[in-house]
Structure 1
Amino acid sequence: MITRRSFSILALAALTLSGTAFAQDANVIRAVTDATFPPMEFFKDGKRTGFDIELTEALAAAAGKKIEWTDIDFKGLVPGLVSKRFDIAVSAIYITPERAKVVDFTDPYYAGGLVVVTKDPEIKTLKDLDRKYVSVQVGTKSVNYLKENHPLVRRTEVEKNQEMFNLAEIGRTAAAVTGKPAAKLFAQSRPGFRVLEEQLTTENYGIAVRQDRPELTKELNAALVKIKANGTYDALIKKWFESPAQ
């Protein structure tokens, strides 16, 4: 017979077990990305892949942890860390002073920068973008960079990375401004497209980490040193940036 007291004990036990079940596993890193930016992160045959994805998995393995991935729009990555929904954000994120005010960053893991990709033969320099429509992705540095440094450029802001390229491909915009790795991969796969030699910026990518997880930043930095020493990092660089397009 279950008395009121025994029922209360059972209920308390159930709540305790429930709390344990929903507590975060210390060996699991909750990572968030916007997997629409090849070769850094994208879906192929229904599977998330790319340099950032494989790098993060390698870092987690070196640290003795596992990754639990979530996909959201790029503009929500940093807010997702601030609200503590996720532990890290990995999505070709530039290390900037503005972002560093609200999130921590690991040591840089790859040097990138903003470039122009176009198929318009009349566009040879950045100055040629003046008064032309240029597509950029919302939430990326491309938006503010053009606003502050090239105010005569007519920005067309879109939610998704692929939309940005699509507009340039169908001629709705004269060019797209985005990160160098993605721009080069797109130009390789589309006849007539090219990346201008003149680069807008040269910047570093880093993994964004919640500010209340300094130990995680240290673990990831130590793991980065480890995979660079054992050859894993170089193998990923060769696979994603030196081999033929994936």
Structure 2
Amino acid sequence: MIVTRRAVLAASLAAPSLATAQTGDTLARVRAAGVLNVGNGGAFPPFEFMQAGTLTGFDVDLGEELGKRMGLRIQWQVISFAGLIAALTSGRVDTLITAMTWTQDRADRIAFSTPYYKTGIAAGYRPNLVIDRPEDLAGRIVGVQVGTSGERYVRDNHGTAVKEIRVYNEFPLALQDLVIGRVECVVNTQPVLRWNIARNSRVRLGVSPVWDARDVGINTRKEDASLMAEINRHLAAMQGDGFLAALDAKWFAPAG
């Protein structure tokens, strides 16, 4: 049998591409498979962290509850934070549940659900310092996590005023250097700073007020409108029945 170039071209036009097959109607596909693949950074306590080799945290509880309400098994993929958006847009995962704060740059590339957590940019700082205002970063050695809204905030607003910006792949590494004095402050989201600093017993660190309010949402690809609508429907129900409030109380209660 002789196959012409025209026949090959016709077949390729008729058949869905690999990218289309991977995305297409994602909601229909995940329902048929019974599995939702979720990307998560794995190192942003208490939203997500590894405990005895198991992924746990606020976002994990949220994702598992979402899966239960959707009738799906959640399959978690732990991916470095800097690679999460690429993992979503390439089709490696179906959604991100990983404390992703809304920024315009991110919103240009991926979709955000209605917020499931309200947060804001702030600084954790060394003893004997007072860093209450963003202007207090001037002349300081500042730690940030790569790819985060905290890093972007410092670079965009105070990059020329600070003494040095030190970038870390994961938030716990930045906090560790704050504790031992390699950086003078760390800029990230305030609830995460408060939670981790309250559980540090080595030095007495401070936390600034919120400088810039941010919303945290679940992410899908922009074309996955039906999946996002389903996620938003369940988030509204979780808000209404108190599940999100209970998660907040569970994971962000004061250390005692």
Q: Specify if TM > 0.5.
A: yes
Distance, in Å, in 1 between the alignment partners of 2:131 and 2:151 is 21
Distance, in Å, in 2 between the alignment partners of 1:124 and 1:136 is 15
Counterparts in 2 of 1:102 and 1:244: CA distance versus 1, 3 Å: same
Give the aligned residue type for 1:238. A
2:215 aligns with one of 204, 211, 223: 204
Match of 2:198 in 1: 188
Distance, in Å, in 1 between the alignment partners of 2:254 and 2:62 is 16
Match of 1:4 in 2: none
The answer to whether structure 1 residue 155 and structure 2 residue 165 are counterparts is: yes
1:179 aligns with one of 189, 202, 226: 189
Please report the TM-score for the alignment, with normalisation by the length of structure 2. Answer: 0.82
Query: 1:62·1:226 contact (CA, 8 Å) conserved in 2?
Result: no
**1:57-136 matched pairs, under 5 angstroms:** 57-125=64-132, 126-136=134-144
Distance, in Å, in 1 between the alignment partners of 2:135 and 2:224 is 43
Using the aligned pairs only, state the percent identity. 30
Query: 2:95·2:220 contact (CA, 8 Å) conserved in 1?
Result: yes
Give the aligned residue type for 2:114. D
Query: 1:122·1:128 contact (CA, 8 Å) conserved in 2?
Result: no
3-state DSSP of counterpart to 1:206: strand
Q: C-alpha deviations, 1:178-206, integer Å up to 9, x for none?
A: 11121001110124012113x22111000
Distance, in Å, in 2 between the alignment partners of 1:243 and 1:65 is 33
Unpaired segments of 5 or more residues in structure 1? Answer: 1-21
Q: CA deviation at 1:243?
A: 5.3
The answer to whether structure 1 residue 29 and structure 2 residue 36 are counterparts is: yes
Distance, in Å, in 2 between the alignment partners of 1:54 and 1:225 is 16
3-state DSSP of counterpart to 1:181: helix
Query: 1:32·1:77 contact (CA, 8 Å) conserved in 2?
Result: yes
2:145 aligns with one of 129, 137, 140: 137
Q: C-alpha deviations, 1:11-64, integer Å up to 9, x for none?
A: xxxxxxxxxxx9965321110111111111111122211111101111121122
2:251 aligns with one of 235, 240, 243: 240
Q: CA deviation at 1:165?
A: 0.6
Distance, in Å, in 2 between the alignment partners of 1:63 and 1:77 is 23
Count of residue pairs brought into register by the alignment: 223
Give the aligned residue type for 2:173. E
Give the aligned residue type for 1:69. W
3-state DSSP of counterpart to 1:207: strand
Distance, in Å, in 1 between the alignment partners of 2:76 and 2:211 is 31
Q: C-alpha deviations, 1:47-93, integer Å up to 9, x for none?
A: 21111110111112112222110001101111111111111112111
Query: 1:95·1:206 contact (CA, 8 Å) conserved in 2?
Result: yes
Match of 1:230 in 2: 241
Please report the TM-score for the alignment, with normalisation by the length of structure 1. Answer: 0.85
How much is the aligned-residue C-alpha RMSD, in angstroms? 1.8
The worse-fitting range, judged by mean Cα deviation, of 116-125 and 28-37 is: 116-125
Which stretches of structure 1, 4 residues or more, deviate above 4 A after TM superposition? 22-25
Distance, in Å, in 2 between the alignment partners of 1:32 and 1:55 is 13
Q: CA deviation at 1:218?
A: 0.8
